[in-house]
Amino acid sequence: MLLPDGFVAIVKRDCPTCTLIEPVLAALAASGRPLTVYSQDDPTFPATGHVVDDRELAVSYRLAIETVPTLLLVEDGVETGRLVGWERDEWRAFTGQDGLGEGLPGYRPGCGSRSVEPGIAERLAVRHGEFHVRSRALDLPELADDQEYCFERGWSDGLPVVPPTAERLYRMLKGTSRAPDEVLGRMPPLLTEVTVEKVAINAVLAGCKPEYLPAVLAAVEAALDPAFCLHGLLATTWFSGPMLIVNGPVRRALGMNWAGNVLGQGNRANATIGRALQLAVRNIGGGKPQDTDMSTFGHPGKLGFCFAEDEDTPWTTLAEDRGVPRARSAVTVFSADGPIGCVDQKSRTPEDLIYSLAGSLRAIDHIDMVNAADVVVVIGPEHGRVFDEAGWDKARATAALHAATRIKGRDLGMGTAPGARRENDDGLKPKFRAGGLTLVRAGGPAGLFSALIPGWLMKGELGTDPVTREIRA
């Protein structure tokens, strides 16, 4: 922006340092050099110099003022120097007036500019053109309740949402360096184009913080991978919906939960990251219950199902197993039903614990059914300790569970691939396909429990595969 030549000061009355230097500004005005003062909160302050009303903060915003007082030197309409706060010797050198500020304290730090206050900065960015919303804007009817309006538009999963204003969207997009118009793919079932901005809108609706957005974007990218078969997952009449497991340093950075009540409520990051994916499926792709989401029962996790893995164990992490180094962060999306508990408070050897886990696993879907689902086994800390103390790694535990879950299975009409029905020499069939048992570690420190989370059909002519995506800023 073109500025008046001379000195330009940005101040506000509600700043002790600004009121302190009012005599300094008067001295500058009397020195003969032009002085223009932009006042952020009171056009009558200060009482000297040429004062411009900047209560709308347009000038402060365009000058990127973070602290007041700020003093600029302008030559030919261009800023050539800047001072922030009050430091007497700096102001004297900057202005060329040796006696400036005599009798005042030598230093005062100043106050935050009104243009960077929470909520105001976002509003200014939208108002003054730095940020352009590409999605269609809707004007809220006069006297309408914003929450009820969101319900009426069909944007909610049944719970209250955060209305996605332009300012909230701007703040959310600050959580990523990715361009708002970057296309991530097409969201089934309507195959609508998915952009970073559209995902961010649903992250706002879900109640995410801006720093959660990279994880949400990675989750959406994983769900859009054809291997995950999101369209089929929506069309199935089975219980399943997407479930996210997060690995890497981002777990701590976002304050995610991998301990007590890990699959339950109470953690904002877990709850809203999972919810943002589900809302994106609903609002971008059109995946709505009794419409294109054909699940007969569903389950509560379809509101949002997301948790972090406990990585403080001897086992490799899920992301490591899927090719992402431990120093990086990733999210893996599974199809998932509700969790099933397995309690064994007596086993003290891995073999005994495998017997208990296998007994519960064999009953998944149907006691006689084979290769109808994958399953994630969440090993609780006390069960995990049984494996750790005996020196069993994840690969050994997984192999033992596969062996212990072979059954005299029957084809009950699920249409599993012919190869999956092949019997072994002893007449037993594998309950789960190779790779269909995924073991992770999580849960609270007390309780000899583990959780079994079945999913939808195995991958064949139809069904899902887990997909992992690295989380990037």
91-98 own/partner pairs: CB under 8 Å, 24+ apart = 91/24, 95/7, 95/28, 95/31, 95/33, 97/27, 97/28, 97/31
Last residue of a domain, one of 52, 87, 117: 117
Q: Is the Cβ–Cβ distance between 276 and 283 less than 8 Å? A: no
Q: Are 261 and 390 contained in the same domain? A: no
Q: pTM here?
A: 0.86
332 dihedral zone (left: phi>0; alpha: psi -120 to 50; beta): beta
Q: What is the CATH number of the domain that holds 63?
A: 3.40.30.10
Q: What is the predicted pLDDT for the residue at 334?
A: 97
125 part of a folded domain: no
Q: Which amino acid would we find at residue 77?
A: G
324 part of a folded domain: no
464 part of a folded domain: no
Q: Are 137 and 184 contained in the same domain? A: yes
Provide the token pair at 417: 């691939």
333 part of a folded domain: no
Query: Is 80 in a helix, a strand, or coil?
Result: strand
Q: Is 279 exposed, middle or buried (0-12, 13-18, 19+ CB in 10 A)?
A: buried
Residue 69, preceding peptide bond in cis (omega within 30° of 0): yes
Q: Are 137 and 270 contained in the same domain? A: yes
Q: Is the Cβ–Cβ distance between 262 and 443 less than 8 Å? A: yes
The widest CA-to-CA distance across the chain, in whole angstroms, is 103
Distance in angstroms (rounded) separating the CA atoms of residues 468 and 323: 9
Backbone angles phi, psi at 456, to 5 degrees: -80, -170
Domain of residue 254, residue span: 132-318
Positive or negative torsion for Cα 388, 389, 393, 396: negative
Distance in angstroms (rounded) separating the CA atoms of residues 223 and 243: 10
Q: Is the Cβ–Cβ distance between 350 and 272 less than 8 Å? A: no
473 part of a folded domain: no
* CA–centroid distance for 301 within its chain: 17
Q: What is the predicted pLDDT for the residue at 370?
A: 85
Distance in angstroms (rounded) separating the CA atoms of residues 9 and 113: 12
Q: Are 428 and 293 contained in the same domain? A: no
Secondary structure (DSSP) of 12-67: -TT-HHHHHTHHHHHHHHHTSS-EEEEESS-TT-SSSSEEEE-TT-HHHHHTT--E
Q: What is the predicted pLDDT for the residue at 158?
A: 96
Q: Is the Cβ–Cβ distance between 196 and 181 less than 8 Å? A: yes
Q: What is the predicted pLDDT for the residue at 456?
A: 87
For the chain, how many structural domains are there in total?
A: 3
Contacts of 349 (CB under 8 A, 6+ apart): 386, 390
Strand partners, 87: 107
Q: Are 295 and 222 contained in the same domain? A: yes
Q: How many CB atoms lie within 10 A of CB 296?
A: 8
Q: Are 53 and 144 contained in the same domain? A: no
Q: What is the predicted pLDDT for the residue at 135?
A: 83
235 part of a folded domain: yes
Provide the token pair at 179: 């361009």
Q: Which amino acid would we find at residue 286?
A: G
Q: What is the predicted pLDDT for the residue at 462?
A: 65
103 part of a folded domain: yes
Last residue of a domain, one of 61, 83, 117: 117
Q: Are 199 and 97 contained in the same domain? A: no
Last residue of a domain, one of 264, 286, 318: 318
Q: Are 297 and 385 contained in the same domain? A: no
Q: Are 344 and 310 contained in the same domain? A: no
459 part of a folded domain: no
Provide the token pair at 314: 């001897």
Intervals of the chain under pLDDT 70:
129, 411-426, 458-462
Q: Are 239 and 145 contained in the same domain? A: yes
Q: Are 301 and 431 contained in the same domain? A: no
Return the residue matching tokens 């962060």: 329
Backbone angles phi, psi at 109, to 5 degrees: -75, -20
Strand partners, 183: 195
Q: Are 309 and 397 contained in the same domain? A: no
Q: Is the Cβ–Cβ distance between 212 and 182 less than 8 Å? A: no
Distance in angstroms (rounded) separating the CA atoms of residues 55 and 12: 9
